[in-house]
Each structure stands twice: as C-alpha cells, then as structure tokens.
Structure 1
C-alpha cells in the first residue's frame, strides 16, 4: 500500500471538488449555492470514478507520468456527458479536465514526498481505510433513521444518510486519520479524531450561525445553551460515535493478524 494513502485518496475528491466549484462559479456566478453544487458534483464524480482510477493506476502503471491527467480527462468527460452532450459542456469538461489533471498531479506529488506517519504497531491495509467512510455511513444512516419517521421511508432515509456519511468520511475522516496517527499514540486516538472531525464539520457548516445568532441580541446562557444543544454537541456526538465505531472495526480487523503473528 502506498504511504500516506489516506491523503492520496482524500486529494482525489478534494481537487475535483475545488475545480468544479471554480468552473461553476465562473459560469453561473459566485453564489454559495452554485459553489456548493459544483463542489458536491465534482467530489462525487471523483469518488465514484477518480478513486478507482487512482487505485488502478497505482497497480498497473505506477510510474506513468500521464496517468493523473488521463484520469482527470476521463472524469471530466463523464461529467460533461452527465450535464448534457452539448459542445459547450464538452469544452468546459476538457478545460476542467486539464485543470484537474494539473492540480491533481501537483497535490499527489507533494503528498508522496511527505514522511509516512508512525505505525504505532498497527497493521496497515486497505480495510482500515475503507472502514472510515463505512463508519461515517453507518453512524449517520442510523441516526437519520432514529430521528425521522419509521415505516416505508426508513430505507430511503438510511441510504441517504449513509451516502452523506460516507462522503463526509472521505473528505474529513481520511485526512483526520492521517493526522491523529501522527500526533497520538493512545488507543483512543480514533475516538478523539472522530470528535475533532465533528468539530471541524461544525466549523465548516454550523459555525456561521454564531454570527447570525449574535445579531439577535442574545447573550449569556440565552446565547450558549441553544448554541451547544443545537450546534456543537450534535456534531461532536456524531463524530465521537463514528470514531468509536471505526475503533471497533479496526480492532476486529487486527485481531486475526495478531493471532497469526503470535
């Protein structure tokens, strides 16, 4: 497995999300809704197509200098066809693919030069990386089903929550996994990483409400109690649950290896 694999996998959807958000902003304006839709579209295309192409390239042609550009152009072609097979969309896809290829090559080359994190005695493998989006999917999917009405809507809610949880796990969980394994040696580091991930997601999505809430003149307990109950705590709790679930998966994965080693 390549070193710093977490960051390499994370870089693929991140680069695509940034490129497509930029293209969407240039074409349709810099409204937040346009930027987010471009970010979401690019990241999903990269997760479904870019990551498999990266893994295939690592296995079949690891030294080829053109493989990131080829992967980016293929992703861009699929994106253009999904938007509509018009000359304008295909031209934007070509330009976006070239930009994505350049950005991906630069970022991935920089990641490959980073030192590998300490192993802390953990056996490393792809199962450990797949457990990150799986933990996010199960956590958010289960919470969504618990909060929303039961019955025929449970399965769609579970699937939607699971997809969002897996998406967040790839964009937030993979880099956080790389970070906590460099900073902490405690057996609870993955739970800690989950909590930090929840706080980071809150800062990116919920923290803007701090400013809006403060404009309403709230202060003291009237300000902090609603903020904690409906703001920080849910994100923190979900992150801790996801980190705990990942720790469980990681322990189950390691036990057969340790038994065979002894």
Structure 2
C-alpha cells in the first residue's frame, strides 16, 4: 500500500528583493515526501536548498502556494501558531551548532522544552533521555567549550529530538566535521530515521553524506528538466 504524503508543496513561489529587482528562488514548485523518508537535497549554492528547508520548517513563508505538513497547512497559520507548531513537530540541525556557551549540554538540550508545559523535573528527564539516545549522557554537565565538534553536533541533534518531533530538518549537518566524525553523525541520523521513523530532510553538498539517505533529490536537475515540477531524483540507495 502506498504511503500518504506527509509533506506536500503545491505551486510554491518564493522570491527575494535585491535592490529594485525581485529574484525568483522557487517558482511554481511542487514536492511530495512520505512519512519516514530520509531525503537528501543536493545542488549548487544559491539554488534555494536552504530556503526550501526553511519553508518546510515554517521558518519562512512562501509568496504563493501551499505547504502542508501532515494535516496542517502552514500558510493558514499565524507566526505565533507556526512557532508553537515547530516546537512540537520539527527539529532543526544546522552546520553551526548554535549551542549556548554558558549552558551545559543538558541545559542546551532542554531549551526547546521551555515552550512546553513540562515541569523543570520533566524537562531534565527528557533532556537526559535525548542525550542518552545520541550517546552523550555522560557529558551532560560539560559546556560546549569542553566538547569536540562531533560531540557538539550530537548535543545539537539531542536538542532537535528532545520534543520527539516527527520531522528533522538538517542543513549541512556535517559541513564542519572530518570524514570519520561526519559518518558517525550521519549514522545517527539514519538510526533516528530507521528505528524511530523520523522523517529526515538533509541539505548537503557531500555525495558521501547523501549515500545515507533513502532518496536523493538533485535540485538543479529537478528545476531544469521538469517544467511541471514532478519528482525528479537520483533514485534510491
């Protein structure tokens, strides 16, 4: 039985003002992603990969078109409603870890839970559970300056999953890491995808990173060869 589309973009237009001109980033863009997929989005810089990720995560709004995640149409939400929706349904992992230097690993992980109704004790419990999943529980009291780059990214992933979101959006998550550490992080993302059925969308320039995905979308090919914006991808690994 075919899966229902979990993410659906229909006729999405996104442009930015550059001086007096308007620059189109996405035009009449359509995309479907199923629940539980691990999708890698590849392509040259400036093509709109990060913009696409921000639109799917509700960090930005399209100029036209609709974006539906599950049963929620993002274009129908106010900014405050999108913030609440993100807090429960989306985890973000960026190339820069964005950890707060003066907070321990555990306190950094607990930050998204401040938006919830959980007590301090429950926030601590959830934070430690997330750190344990990424094999960083023993480092819970360490500050970012006391961690390696790979350990910082593991903490960032723990922060992304602490509220148990369905969707993980990763923008060049291994861009600053050496190959071995990058592979460790990618195996962790694949494990979250396979064992916990997290839908993972990862923007990357790294072909080796894309090998961990179940589907690879070459955005340049997608945009140039498919005028109707039907799904163009490089197949399944």
**TM-score band w.r.t. shorter chain:** under 0.3
TM-score (norm 1): 0.24
More strand by share: 2
* Bigger Rg, structure 1 or 2: 1
Higher relative contact order (CA 8 A, sep 6+): 2
